[in-house]
Structures are given as C-alpha cells and as structure tokens.
Amino acid sequence: MLDISRIRKHPDEVEKKLQYREEAITLDRILELDERRRDLIGTVEDLKHEKNEASQQIGTLKKQGQHERANEIIKNMGSLSERIEELEDELNEVERELQEEIDVLPNLPHDSVPVSDDEEDKVIIDEYGERPEFDFELKNHLELGEELDLFKFDKASKIAGARFPFYYGDGAAIEMALINFMFFYQVNENSYTPVFPPYLANKRSYYTSGQLPKFEDDLYHVEKDGLYLNPTSESILANYYRDEILSGNDLPKKFVSFTTCFRREAGSYGEEERGLIRTHQFNKVELFRFVRGEESYTHFEELITDAESILQELELHYRKVTLPTCDLAQQSSKTVDLEVWIPTQGEYYEVSSISNCEDFQSRRGNMRYRPETDAKPEFMHTLNGSGLATSRLLVAILENNQKKDGSIELPNRLAEQLNRKELK
C-alpha cells in the first residue's frame, strides 16, 4: 500500500512512476477524495468543538438560573448533532472509497528497474555455466517421464482435471529429494529459520500480501470457510508479524518454508500447458525476510545469491534477469528472476522470482519496528524469493542431464539424496 502523505506531497512524481507500470493509472480521484476527506475532518472537528462549548454554556446558564436560554441552546444542539452525524457518514464513505482506490495501486518501481510495457524487455544481468550440447535427438520431459515411468498425468486429469501433476515412482522420489535438499540447504548453509505454514489463509492475509482485492480471480477460493489456497507461501509469510511492533534488534528475520502452491493460471499457453511447465499445483521452497528499510537492498542481493546457489549446486545453466516495470508483481518494487534453460523448448523459464516489496506489504499489514528504544516505529521492508519452484526445475534437470540411452545422470546433490547416480 502506498503512503497517502507521499501521494499528497509528490503527486506528479508518484503518478509518473505508477504509469511506468500501467499507463492508464491516474491519481486525480485519489487526490480529490483525500482533499474532501481532510475538509470533512476539519468541519466535523469544528462542529464538535462548537457542540462541546455549547454543552459547557448550558451547564453555566442552568447554574445561573437562565433555563429559557439554556433550552434554546439545547434545541439548537439537536440540529448540530444531526449535521455532525450526516458529515461523519459522508466522511466514512469518502474514506472507504479512498481506501479502495489506494488498495488497487501497485507498488512504485525502484529507480533501477527498466521502464517498458513489453515483458520481453528484461535485462540480462549474468549467465552461469554453458548451455549443454547434445549429439543425439533430445526427448522432452514428457517423453522421458513416460519411458522412465516418472509421472501419471492421465491419473491426475481423471482425479483433478487438466494441468495437475501426479508424480510417480522415481518421479515422486526425485521431487521429494529436491524439496528436502533445497529446504535444508538454506537452513544449514544460509541460517534461515525453517517454518511449515498453513496452506490456506483468510482474506485479510491476502490483502496484506497484495493479492486482494485486485487479483481475487487468480486465487482458489474456499468460499464456505472464507479461506484461499496459497499461490505462494510468500502470501502466508508476509503476515507473520501483522499488527506487531518489533525491536530493531530483532531484525533481520529470515524464514525458509515449503508449501504446495495453487494458481488458476488462466489462459492458453500451447506447449506450456503440457506436463510440468505450467500447472495449477506445484511445490516450492520459499525464502522470506523482514528487514530494516535502509538495509533492504543489501538483503535483496543476498537473497538473490541464496536462491541462485541452489542452481549452482544442481549444476544447471541459468541466467539472471531484471524484470521491466510492466512485469512486476503488484507488491514488488524490484524483481530479479532466475531462469533455467529448457533445451527442448529452446527457451529459458523462470524458476525463481526474487522481489523487494519495500514497505508495501508492511503498510497493509501494519508491521513495524522501533529503530531504537523509544523511537517512533517505522514500517519494515519485506523481501521474498523462490528457493526454488520444483516443477520447471525438475524439467530442466531431466532434459539437461539426459543420455543417449534414455537414462538421466543425476546431479551430485540429488545423487546423494537418492543414493543413486542415475535414473534408468
């Protein structure tokens, strides 16, 4: 959520930055409502002051025996009370509409984010390793999965519908090995606190994280219970300190979590709809940090390093890119993606998005800290990053490590987990 005082003081600057993300955004209505709100607050306060003075005057007049004059003032106070009530009703409506307008605004992009309305205008920061070369005809992960009996997509379709996964045999084993490796790597190597959060959360939680109210249609909603399935555990973890004030000495806080994630993923994507490239359900290890505002971009770089270390441990070729303004999530001020090479697709696919949300989520969730003892509370900054999402990661592992005979040579880290060097 954006700070209304910042909008009020620097409307042109804020509007310009917002239009980098969505050209149609305008702050005219917000500024109009904010001005009306402040006018109403002033008028109501003046009328209440007048009412209080009248009450005191009535008491004085009665003590002085001037009951007729006191009764006249009492009569006038009735209409004054009605006017205050009318204005307060209007104020409540103005504040409600103002909040609704602010709630759908995205976060302001950081100055270093490339400005573009084309998602392809991402900036490549770096590449790790070389694309593998093959001297035989490649098989995609579906073909490999069928030959090695790793997945049962027909069973998933029968049970849940299209674009749901069903890992089987060695497919299920390697999926669990990935999750286990990635989760405990961050605990043991990078000192993250392990957490295992709920998969469902209430409306307030998704408001805090930024999915609601604007993106409700993208979520799976359990209407009877008023709960939503998590699209990423970021949405859950962003609420951990909701409505709390921490000591500055308590920060930073670093969490690593695992959840299965659920997304509607509406639309048609051709080849992406097949197999594990784009599914309604997938598994993900998530990294999350609560930090001091002045330290957030240092933590941002650390978070990127923590996420990409997994890809390096798995010996995968990948690239690191900065997303343009048009491709930022609602809550993000800056996002860097890690993309793995999928050889049969001839494309890079994102397996991790690392984002600095600055104070956007903390304002929505009222999450603050005191920099020093007795200092005025400030809003924390929140950061998140996939560490990593397993589905496309598994595709990359299978396709990039396939051999001419159809077997898969496992990266050393997974070989250790599974106590075997290959799938065949």
| In 82-161, beta strands by DSSP E | 123-128
25 burial via Cβ count (<10 Å: 0-12, 13-18, 19+): middle
Nearest to 190 by CA among 304, 109, 268: 304
| pLDDT for residue 18 is more than 90 | yes
80 confidence band (pLDDT: 50, 70, 90): confident
Contacts of 218 (CB under 8 A, 6+ apart): 211, 231, 263, 264, 266
Tens of pLDDT, residue by residue over 129-142, are 999 999 999 999 99
Tens of pLDDT, residue by residue over 394-420, are 999 999 999 999 999 999 999 999 999
Nearest to 322 by CA among 21, 111, 17, 114: 114
The radius of gyration of the chain from alpha carbons, rounded to an integer in Å, stands at: 28
| pLDDT for residue 275 is more than 70 | yes
| pLDDT for residue 383 is more than 90 | yes
Is it true that the peptide bond before 213 is cis, omega within 30 degrees of 0?
A: yes
What pLDDT sits at residue 66?
Answer: 67
274 confidence band (pLDDT: 50, 70, 90): confident
Tens of pLDDT, residue by residue over 214-244, are 999 999 999 999 999 999 999 999 999 999 9
| pLDDT for residue 180 is more than 60 | yes
**Mean pLDDT across the stretch 256-279?**
79
pLDDT > 90 fraction of the chain, expressed in percent and rounded: 87
DSSP string, 258-298: EEEEE----S--GGGGSTTSS-SEEEEEEEEEEE-GGGHHH
For residue 108, the tally of other CB atoms under 10 A from its CB is 22
What pLDDT sits at residue 50?
Answer: 80
pTM, rounded to two decimals: 0.92
For residue 66, the SS3 value is coil
What pLDDT sits at residue 403?
Answer: 96
**Mean pLDDT across the stretch 182-194?**
98
What pLDDT sits at residue 75?
Answer: 60
What the block records as the tokens of 404 is: 């001419």
Angle between helices 141-148 and 390-400 (to 10 degrees): 80
What the block records as the tokens of 302 is: 């650390």
Distance CA 356, CA 300 (A): 6
Out of 18-32, 51-65, 108-122, 162-176, which region has the weakest mean confidence (pLDDT)?
51-65
What pLDDT sits at residue 265?
Answer: 72
266 burial via Cβ count (<10 Å: 0-12, 13-18, 19+): exposed
388 and 182 Cβ atoms separated by less than 8 Å: yes
pLDDT > 70 fraction of the chain, expressed in percent and rounded: 94
176 burial via Cβ count (<10 Å: 0-12, 13-18, 19+): middle
Distance CA 199, CA 282 (A): 12
Distance CA 152, CA 169 (A): 10
**Mean pLDDT across the stretch 113-129?**
96
What pLDDT sits at residue 210?
Answer: 95
Is it true that the peptide bond before 18 is cis, omega within 30 degrees of 0?
A: no
For residue 111, the SS3 value is coil
What pLDDT sits at residue 336?
Answer: 98
The dihedral sign for the CA sequence 80, 82, 85, 91: negative
| pLDDT for residue 268 is more than 60 | no
330 confidence band (pLDDT: 50, 70, 90): very high
Nearest to 333 by CA among 385, 383, 291, 403: 383
Tens of pLDDT, residue by residue over 311-320, are 999 999 999 9
Mean pLDDT score of the chain, rounded to an integer? 93
313 and 197 Cβ atoms separated by less than 8 Å: no
Q: Which H or E run includes 227? A: strand 227-229
| pLDDT for residue 171 is more than 70 | yes
> What residue type is assigned to position 380 of the chain?
M
